[in-house]
Structures are given as C-alpha cells and as structure tokens.
Structure 1
Amino acid sequence: MVSMSALDTTTSPQKRRVPLWDNARWVAVTLVLIGHAILKLIGESDVAYTLYLFIYAFHVPVFVAVSGYFTKSEPPDARQLHRLLTDIIFPYVIFETIWTVLRWILGGKFVLDYSTASWTLWFLLALLLWRIALPYLVLLRYPLIISIIISIGAGYLPNIDGTFTLSRALGLLPFFVFGWKMRQWQLTDTWLELRDGLIWRWRAGAIGLFALLYLLIGLNIETLRTLQVRRFLLYDEAYAIFGYSEFWAGGIRLAVMLLACALIVAFLMLIPRRTTWVTNLGTATMYIYLLHTFVLYPLRETGVLDGPQPAWVLPGMIVLSVATSFLLSTPLVRRLARPFVEPKARWLFGTTRATPPGTIALPHRERT
C-alpha cells in the first residue's frame, strides 16, 4: 500500500500502479458521496430512494473489496504495524476528536467516546479489524465461506452492536475476504489481458445486470420501502432490531451479499482499464472520504433538505457530490489536509529492535 491512503494499494511505490484500481477507487468513493448526499431526500422521493437503494446495493461492498484486494494476508511486520497506526488509528483519533469538538461548538454535549465512530469514521475501525483478522482467516481452508457464516450469524445477535463498529465489521467481512480472494484468483491479470472484443461482451452483460437491478428496484420501490430492505444493505444491525426475528432472516442477508459480489465484479468490468482523467484522483480516496462529511454536514443538519423538494434538487446533489469529490482530490486540498489525513507522528516512534541488545539467538535444537 502506498502512503497516499489506507484505502489504496499495499504495493510498494516502485511497483507500477494499475489504472483500473485507481479509476475504481475514485468512482466508488464518489458513489459514497452521492449516497450520503441524497439520504435526506429518500423519505419524500421514490426516485431518490430508488437511486439510493441501487447505489447501496454495491458501492460499500466495492469499497471494502478493493481494500481487501490490496491487503497482505501474512502476519504484519513492524512496518505494517507502523502503517496501521499512521494510516488508520491516528486519523481515526484525529477526526473523531474533531467531530466531538464540532458537535460541542454547535450546542451538543462534549462526549469524547472513541468506541462509537462518528458518521463515516466506522470504515477506519472496520478496516483495522479486517486487517487484523485476515491473517487468521486465511489459515483456514475456506476463509470466504467462513466469513459469510460469521456475517450471517452476527445478524442474529443483538448484543453485537455499533461499539467499535463491530456489527458492521462482521457484516461486511465477506466482501473484504472476497477482495482478497480476487487477487488469489488473479482475476485482474486475466481481465487486463482480455481482447477488446471480449471485453465489450462482458461489459454488455454488466450493463444489463445493473439496468435490470435498477428497473426492479424502481418497479417495486414501495414494497422495498415497506420491507425495510435499506436496513439489510447497511449491515450494521441485528435483524430483530428492525423487525426480522424469523429464523430465515439470515437468508436475506445471504441473498444481498451474493448479489453484491456479482455487482462488484460487474462494476469492475465497467471501469476503464487505461489511464483516464480520474486515475490520479483515485490516489486521494482517503482525503475524499474523510473530508466530504464537512461539506455535506451543513446540508444534512440545517433542515434545508427536509420535506418535499423540487425536482432539480436530486440531480443538483449528484452534481455537488461529483464536484466535491473532484475538489477534495486536488493537490492543494491534499497538501493542506495531509497532517490530519496522513499524520506521520514521527515524534511518537522510537527505534525498535527485534532482539534486545546482548541477546544471542540460539539454534532451534539448543533452545529449552
């Protein structure tokens, strides 16, 4: 992973970046912005709710799978542990503190609780848990199947809640493992070597899948609203909490996960394989992810988007999301925000040694 983002690759800077993945990162994080931007509209607008469910069917799974694709499954060495601190833990503490202070300034109580992630910060805690868990999971014969069982099982346990974002981390765990498995299957190499003629056949199928999904959601939007399908797409609550106490509730999560895995593959098929104007922007996904909430927060909290809205508001929020994603990718924003998003904190680290000075490592058969 390069140092630009905890959401980026784990490859060394010397290795050539694959444009496909940077393109995918930027598109995926922009979909995250759109989903957050239109949330206030879905209560009054079936059109907005249709788009919301369509996006949420795959955009977070894509984001998680891309992170899993570039995560090493070996036990972490000192360098990787260092990166867990600087890329995940330190940014989480910094931004959780900022949000606590901001809410206090706006009239709320000052409650500094690092066990409960503010808004989008859940992803950092979940990413930390996934990276810690992956080396243990891959020791097992069927890590993907086991992760699916864990995800489904967690939904039956109401005591697994949002503390340290555990419910979401377990719920979305299969997508992280699925991303890792895609690298083991070498799907990217196969896809990049495929001829253009075959590429467009697969892309036509992917477009058909997305079109069919959008059509089905749109035609059944009232039913989906009644069934609270949105709650299944968030992966952050036990089934019984939103009215699904039946034994078969886990089957719905399984169906949603299988659909999402198919949509992950279809999404990647539609992403350009070559360098585009968004490729460089895809190296700044952490900046976009952590900073966009400060842009959207006033719109979400001031009541501007409450109640019925004119027809232009939905496309306006989409345009705003894309523009925000572009703006937060710019070099100026990255330079100004780097101390918060990518804190080096060199003063916290000392010189570590694998073996204490003066200790002699004995050969294996001489140890007691």
Structure 2
Amino acid sequence: MSTQRVALWDNARFGAIALMVAGHTLTKMVGENDAAFTLYVFIYAFHVPVFVAVSGYFTKGTAPDDNRIRSVFTDILVPYLIFEVIWSVVLFLYNGNFRLDVTRASWTLWFLLALAIWRIILPYLVALKYPLLISIVISIAAGYFPIDQTFSAARVLGFLPFFVFGWQLRQWNLGERWMAICSQSVIRWRLAATAFMLAVAVAISLSVPFWREVQIRSFITYDAGYASFGYDQWWSGAVRLAAMVVAAGMIIAFLILIPREQTWFTQFGQATMYVYLLHTFVLYPSREYGVLDGERPFWYILLAVILSFGLTVALSTKPVVKLFKPLVQPNLNWLFVTSRDASR
C-alpha cells in the first residue's frame, strides 16, 4: 500500500537541495568579498544539516526489514559505487590519473556513505536513553581526534546529531502538529522564523573579520578535527556545540518558512537524489576552468546562485529523471532473494 506524499516534506527536500547546489556553487568564489562570505556562511551554517535532518525524519528507528535492507543497497550503496566509478573516469579525463578508492568518497558522494551508516546504526542508537544527547556528545568528542575521511568518518560523526534530530522531530510529531496549526498561528511562527534567520544573517555580516579569524568555515563543514585547523584548546568543542545549536534553530526556521501546501516545485522534491548526484558534473568543469573559481564581485556571485537554482530545477525534471534512472535508481530485483527463497 502506497503512502500519500505530504507536500511540506517534498517542498522541504527541494528547498534543501537548492541550498546545497547554491552552496557548492559558491565554495570557491568567496575570496575576500565580505558580502559573498556572509552569504556562503549563512548557507553553509544549515544547508547540509537540514538535508541530513530531513533524511533522519524519514528513517525508522526499528530493526530493518527486508525492504529497508534492500533500499540501503539500491538507493545508496550501489549508486555510490556507480558514481565513484564515473568520477574516477571524469577525473582521469581531466588530469590523466585514474584512481578508484571506494573508501574515500569523491566530492559530494560522502553523503551516500554517511546516509548508509546512519541508517544502519540508528536502531542501535535510539535503543539507548537520550539518543540525541548521546549523538551530540559523539560529534563534539570526534572533533578532538584526528579522524580522516576514510568512509566519510569525520562527517558521519560530525553530522550525526542532525540525523538523530530529524528522527526525533518525527517522534515528537512536530510535522503533524505543524500541519494542524491554524493560519493565524502559522503567520506568527513564520514572522518569528524570519526574524531568527535575519538575526543570523546580520550577526554574520556585522562581524565578518571575526568569523574569518575564528575559521568558522572549518567548524560548519564538520569534516576535520579541531586541531587540523589550529584549535587544540580544550574548549574547541564548545564552538561546534554552538554551531549545532544555531543550525538546529535554522532547521526549524527553514521548515516553518517552507510552504505547507502544493506548489509549482513540490513535484521536484521527489528527485533530490538526482540533483545531488548530477549537479556536480555541471559545477566541476565550471570550477576547474575558472568560471566558478577565484574572487568575484557580489553581482557575479548572486547571478551564479540564481543560475544554480535553475540548474536544480532542470535536474529535477522528468526527462532527466527518466534518462538517469538506471544510474541513480538501478533495478536490482535480480540481486535479491525472494521471500520464498529466503524461507527455504
């Protein structure tokens, strides 16, 4: 029996992936432009956390059944292997060196590895008391160790609280409760969410030299230990904790601001994995040939962000989904035993 899709969550998926594409578009153009730095830090403060949280919201904390085990293979691990091979070929064409190492994800593919690991460990984690608190402690503690990117370990541990946070939101029934709120209350909540987002943006823009000095970019990517970017003090974990608290607030504000009803982009929320896996093949040559690299004026960066939104929409369309479905959602029914075979 199929489950009816809720427009809010498809809208949230599309918004999250649009932010992610914009963030990847900006990465190599920030330079010394303060306005661009503000935009970059604002997006990076929560664009991955919200994507992770939405994934956690739709992950069950119970022991996996056959269908969920299969989905880890068909939706995550096999596409990961397929696109790792493709990326190895692409990089060979660019630099002449062929290197295939499935233990170290190419660029954005780290998320697939992380998602598989999070789905596997969630039932064990939520069997404990206070899983969200435990995941926060794990994330903060991980930053004190020189954990590298083998199997995306640093990010798996760093972003773990957001995945558990997303799962926890469902246990609190916040989605259903939000959908049931009357229009007048929605307006008040959205005004508060807007004020919070603006406050974060203003806090970043008014203190750009400070944020550069403290290397906030390194903290909000959760991909390295504190000591690797000069923070070997005992209190370094407090900075990560503060970043997580702000990100959690921005996740809630983002979900409040997202439309609850059907919109023109609701349908695109069903194709976020296509956008995630394919957009880098457009951005990579643009970055390598200098189009999206180097210090740029703010108008250029703003134009790039607008075009990144167009790219997100284009990669969400039905023709693109149909064309790339064998790579993104391969049919692997032949690989799995049937229920009859399994019972023998």
The 5-angstrom pairing of residues 119-130 of structure 1 reads 119-130=107-118
- Is the Cα contact below 8 Å between 2:12 and 2:258 reproduced in 1? yes
The 5-angstrom pairing of residues 135-174 of structure 1 reads 135-158=123-146, 160-174=147-161
Match of 1:186 in 2: 173
Does the residue aligned with 1:111 lie in a helix, a strand or coil? coil
Q: Which amino acid aligns with 2:119?
A: R
Match of 1:33 in 2: 21
- Is the Cα contact below 8 Å between 2:36 and 2:298 reproduced in 1? no
Given candidates 100, 103, 111, the residue that maps to 1:112 is 100
Match of 1:283 in 2: 270
Shift of 1:246: 0.3
Does the residue aligned with 2:4 lie in a helix, a strand or coil? coil
- Is the Cα contact below 8 Å between 1:103 and 1:109 reproduced in 2? yes
Alpha-carbon distance in 2 for matches of 1:288, 1:93 = 17
Given candidates 48, 66, 82, the residue that maps to 1:78 is 66
**% identical equivalent positions:** 53
Q: Which amino acid aligns with 2:253?
A: A
- Is the Cα contact below 8 Å between 2:38 and 2:204 reproduced in 1? yes
- Is the Cα contact below 8 Å between 2:12 and 2:269 reproduced in 1? yes
Q: Residues 290-316 of structure 1: CA distance to partner in whole angstroms, max 9, x if unpaired?
A: 100011111111123443334431121
Q: TM-score, normalised by structure 1?
A: 0.91
- Is the Cα contact below 8 Å between 2:25 and 2:292 reproduced in 1? no
- Is the Cα contact below 8 Å between 1:288 and 1:328 reproduced in 2? yes
Q: Does 1:333 align with 2:333?
A: no
Alpha-carbon distance in 1 for matches of 2:325, 2:342 = 34
Larger helix proportion of the pair: 2
Q: Which runs of 5+ in 1 are unaligned?
A: 1-11, 358-368
Shift of 1:345: 2.5
CA spacing shift, 1:33–1:263, aligned 2, 3 Å: same
Q: Does 1:241 align with 2:223?
A: no
Q: Residues 206-245 of structure 1: CA distance to partner in whole angstroms, max 9, x if unpaired?
A: 0000101101100111110111001010001000000000
Alpha-carbon distance in 2 for matches of 1:298, 1:15 = 40
Q: Does 1:215 align with 2:202?
A: yes
Shift of 1:155: 0.5
Q: Which amino acid aligns with 2:300?
A: V
Identify which range, 192-201 or 311-320, moves more after superposition.
311-320
Does the residue aligned with 2:87 lie in a helix, a strand or coil? helix
For these two proteins, the number of residue pairs brought into alignment is: 344
Match of 1:7 in 2: none
Q: Which amino acid aligns with 1:345?
A: L
Q: Does 1:64 align with 2:52?
A: yes
Q: Which amino acid aligns with 1:95?
A: F
Given candidates 277, 281, 298, the residue that maps to 1:294 is 281
Does the residue aligned with 1:303 lie in a helix, a strand or coil? coil
Given candidates 231, 239, 248, the residue that maps to 1:261 is 248
Q: Residues 156-200 of structure 1: CA distance to partner in whole angstroms, max 9, x if unpaired?
A: 111x21000011011000000000000000011111111111111
Alpha-carbon distance in 1 for matches of 2:83, 2:335 = 18
Does the residue aligned with 2:62 lie in a helix, a strand or coil? coil
Q: Does 1:225 align with 2:184?
A: no
Alpha-carbon distance in 1 for matches of 2:85, 2:97 = 13
Match of 1:175 in 2: 162
Alpha-carbon distance in 2 for matches of 1:259, 1:347 = 46
Shift of 1:149: 0.6
- Is the Cα contact below 8 Å between 2:79 and 2:329 reproduced in 1? yes
Alpha-carbon distance in 2 for matches of 1:109, 1:306 = 22
Q: Does 1:345 align with 2:327?
A: no
Does the residue aligned with 1:312 lie in a helix, a strand or coil? helix
Identify which range, 345-354 or 25-34, moves more after superposition.
345-354
CA spacing shift, 1:54–1:310, aligned 2, 3 Å: closer
Alpha-carbon distance in 1 for matches of 2:292, 2:112 = 28
Match of 1:360 in 2: none
Given candidates 263, 266, 270, the residue that maps to 2:257 is 270
Given candidates 88, 104, 107, the residue that maps to 1:100 is 88
Alpha-carbon distance in 2 for matches of 1:264, 1:256 = 12
Bigger Cα Rg: 1
Alpha-carbon distance in 2 for matches of 1:347, 1:192 = 40
Match of 1:197 in 2: 184
- Is the Cα contact below 8 Å between 1:44 and 1:307 reproduced in 2? no
CA spacing shift, 1:312–1:355, aligned 2, 3 Å: closer
Given candidates 277, 295, 299, the residue that maps to 1:312 is 299
Shift of 1:352: 5.3
Alpha-carbon distance in 2 for matches of 1:93, 1:327 = 24
Shift of 1:82: 0.8
Q: TM-score, normalised by structure 2?
A: 0.97
Shift of 1:58: 1.0
